[in-house]
């Protein structure tokens, strides 16, 4: 695919929701874009800025928001459909050993990763990148680890922004993995936090005492906490008001994934207590096996949960969790997260200009997305608006309506195969439908890795917390003489379960005939939650 011939100077008009403060909305205005940045934001009737006098804005007919920023995902798993969680769990260690989890999640992904002949990794990256962009996400988090090549970042250096890659110095890299030895040593762990601008780490995932011990382990015998301003705790479901007070005293942050929490544990983070303590809160969809299909869906989950539990969050508060709040957590707020002159033009346009502007976004579905720009470049949208904006790319359909998506990236490694969305979909469907045949090849490769006899070179997919990657997604400090964190060796030692074909997760809810039915039948969701989320679709 050749790079799109995007104009360096252009403009788009519509209702503009800046997210700078609540109520800062231009009912009708124009955003002027110069290369990658916003040159000006002008209300209707006011003159265009210098240099744009002859620019004819693209009339979107929609409402324009900052592009959505997601701070919790495991992107490589997002080819898998929603898992029917069989029972309530108390902590992360329990469900990773469930038989149905192994046959629905870890088994299939291990087979994909280890039996890959080189064709599946580019297909997977292409598909999950598209899955984000078609729902208005312009930055996501959760790049998978590389097993023995160490350069997986190059695969994800595409159209979508990745928090772990950033764009230094404007957008500093976030960290989301920590070396094994540092995750187990209090002083080294604290030093890692001190040396990072943002560290996104899983923390106290679960609701029982064991999950809570992960947080308590952050305190050393001298009473000092390994909590720094860089720390953004993902989940924090086991924490109480006192714990959030401790986090606030040390200027940490929280990333909330309500749907995933409820599916697994029947409860979610006490975000009301976190907000009362003064913590900044962002949203993440977690991953498709036990979460929303995308961040646009997680906005709906947050809205439903907030109403169900009387959390007191306004629609503006919820939209902030996917725009300005995550930008602040990443230390990107000077460049992204709100619509303002000089900031990068990462924008999301959804159809319609009536009603409350924040509720309007929460209610929007994937088929309502009109345009997505990243760094001023039209990356995805309806065929008509993409053409007007000077964008080009691959044609496909969402809900029967013509769309165009542009994956081209001059910064991507030239040795990486460029795969279309159509081809990626074909490859992944075939692989997931052939898991029984892939399994023997994957087991042989796993054994070769264990013996140190790996001979194949090239790109490899190594999955979060499945293989020995010498890194962790969470602290593993000791509490009461016991190291916290999941026991991966015990999980890896278990005999593999037989695998059967599964279906590739749908790119969107509208084009996924089983997602809503599966969601509504999830046994751990509090009564009414599944139906209330489904009602948005």
Separation CA 82–CA 102 (nearest Å): 14
Separation CA 186–CA 191 (nearest Å): 9
Tell me what pLDDT residue 488 has: 58
Question: What confidence tens digit (pLDDT) does each residue in 17-43 have?
Answer: 999 999 999 999 999 999 999 999 999
Q: Say which residues have a Cβ less than 8 Å from residue 252's Cβ, sequence separation at least 6.
A: 227, 228, 229, 231, 232, 233, 279
Tell me what pLDDT residue 300 has: 98
Question: What confidence tens digit (pLDDT) does each residue in 250-285 have?
Answer: 999 999 999 999 999 999 999 999 999 999 999 999
Q: To which residue do tokens 């360096």 refer?
A: 8
| DSSP 8-class letter at 102 | I
Q: What is the mean pLDDT of the chain?
A: 91
Separation CA 253–CA 251 (nearest Å): 7
Do the Cβ atoms of 4 and 408 come closer than 8 Å? yes
Report the pLDDT averaged over residues 40-67: 97
Report the pLDDT averaged over residues 351-366: 98
For residue 104 the two structure tokens come to 């629905």
Separation CA 325–CA 317 (nearest Å): 9
As beta bridge partners, residue 401 has: 398
Q: Are strands 231-235 and 199-203 parallel, antiparallel or unpaired?
A: parallel
Q: Is the pLDDT of residue 353 over 80?
A: yes
Q: Say which residues have a Cβ less than 8 Å from residue 132's Cβ, sequence separation at least 6.
A: 70, 75, 140, 160, 294, 295
Is cis: bond before 169, omega within 30 of 0?
A: yes
3-state SS class at 519? helix
As beta bridge partners, residue 381 has: 371, 404
Separation CA 15–CA 447 (nearest Å): 57
Hey, what long-range contacts does 389-394 have (CB within 8 A, 24 or more apart)?
389/6, 389/7, 389/10, 389/12, 389/58, 390/4, 390/5, 390/6, 390/7, 390/10, 391/4, 391/6, 392/4, 392/5, 393/1, 393/4, 394/1, 394/420, 394/421, 394/422
Tell me what pLDDT residue 149 has: 44
3-state SS, 254-289, equals: EEECHHHHHHHHCCCCCHHHHHHHCCCEEECCECHH
Burial grade of 145 (CB within 10 A; 0-12, 13-18, 19 or more): buried
pLDDT category at 96 given cuts 50, 70, 90 is: confident
Closest CA to 15 of 356, 466, 462, 481: 356
Query: Worst-scoring range by mean pLDDT, 367-376, 381-390, 460-469?
Result: 460-469
Tell me what pLDDT residue 87 has: 96
């Amino acid at each position: 695919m050749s790079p799109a011939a995007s104009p360096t100077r252009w403009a788009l008009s519509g209702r503009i929701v800046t997210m700078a403060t609540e109520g800062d909305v231009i009912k009708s205005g124009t955003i002027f874009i110069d290369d990658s940045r916003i040159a000006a934001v002008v209300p209707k009737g006011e003159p265009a800025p210098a240099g744009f006098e002859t620019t004819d804005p693209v009339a979107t007919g929609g409402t324009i928001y900052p592009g959505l920023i997601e701070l919790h995902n495991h992107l490589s798993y997002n080819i898998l459909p929603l898992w029917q969680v069989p029972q309530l769990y108390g902590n992360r260690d329990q469900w990773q050993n469930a038989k149905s989890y192994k046959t629905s999640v870890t088994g299939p992904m291990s087979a994909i990763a280890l039996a890959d002949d080189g064709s599946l990794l580019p297909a997977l990256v292409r598909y999950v990148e598209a899955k984000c962009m078609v729902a208005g996400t312009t930055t996501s988090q959760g790049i998978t680890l590389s097993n023995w090549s160490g350069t997986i970042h190059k695969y994800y250096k595409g159209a979508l922004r990745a928090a772990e890659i950033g764009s230094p110095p404007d957008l500093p890299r976030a960290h989301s993995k920590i070396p094994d030895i540092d995750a187990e040593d209090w002083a080294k762990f604290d030093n890692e936090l001190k040396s990072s601008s943002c560290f996104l780490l899983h923390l106290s995932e679960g609701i029982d005492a064991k999950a809570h011990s992960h947080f308590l382990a952050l305190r050393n015998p001298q009473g000092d906490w390994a909590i720094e301003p860089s720390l953004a705790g993902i989940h924090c479901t086991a924490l109480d008001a006192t714990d959030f007070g401790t986090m606030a005293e040390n200027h940490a942050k929280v990333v909330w994934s309500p749907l995933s929490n409820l599916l697994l544990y029947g409860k979610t983070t006490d975000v009301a207590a976190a907000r009362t303590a003064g913590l900044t809160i962002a949203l993440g969809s977690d991953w498709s096996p036990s979460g929303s299909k995308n961040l646009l869906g997680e906005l709906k989950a947050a809205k439903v949960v907030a109403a169900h539990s009387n959390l007191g969050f306004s629609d503006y508060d919820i939209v902030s969790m996917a725009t300005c709040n995550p930008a602040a957590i990443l230390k990107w707020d000077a460049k992204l997260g709100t619509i303002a002159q000089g900031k990068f033009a990462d924008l999301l346009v959804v159809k319609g200009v009536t009603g409350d502007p924040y509720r309007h976004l929460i209610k929007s579905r994937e088929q309502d997305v009109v345009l997505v720009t990243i760094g001023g470049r039209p990356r995805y949208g309806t065929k008509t608006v993409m053409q007007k904006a000077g964008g080009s790319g691959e044609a496909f359909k969402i809900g029967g309506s013509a769309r165009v998506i542009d994956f081209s990236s001059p910064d991507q490694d030239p040795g990486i195969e460029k795969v279309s969305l159509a081809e990626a979909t074909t490859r992944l469907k075939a692989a997931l439908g052939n898991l029984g045949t892939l399994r023997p090849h994957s087991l042989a490769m796993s054994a070769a890795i264990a013996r140190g006899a790996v001979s194949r070179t090239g790109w490899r997919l190594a999955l979060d917390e499945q293989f020995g990657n010498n890194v962790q997604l969470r602290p593993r400090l000791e509490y009461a003489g016991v190291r916290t964190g999941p026991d991966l060796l015990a999980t890896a030692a278990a005999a593999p379960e037989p695998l059967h074909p599964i279906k590739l997760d749908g790119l969107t809810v509208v084009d996924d005939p089983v997602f809503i039915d599966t969601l509504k039948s999830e046994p751990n969701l509090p009564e009414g939650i599944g139906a209330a989320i489904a009602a948005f679709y």
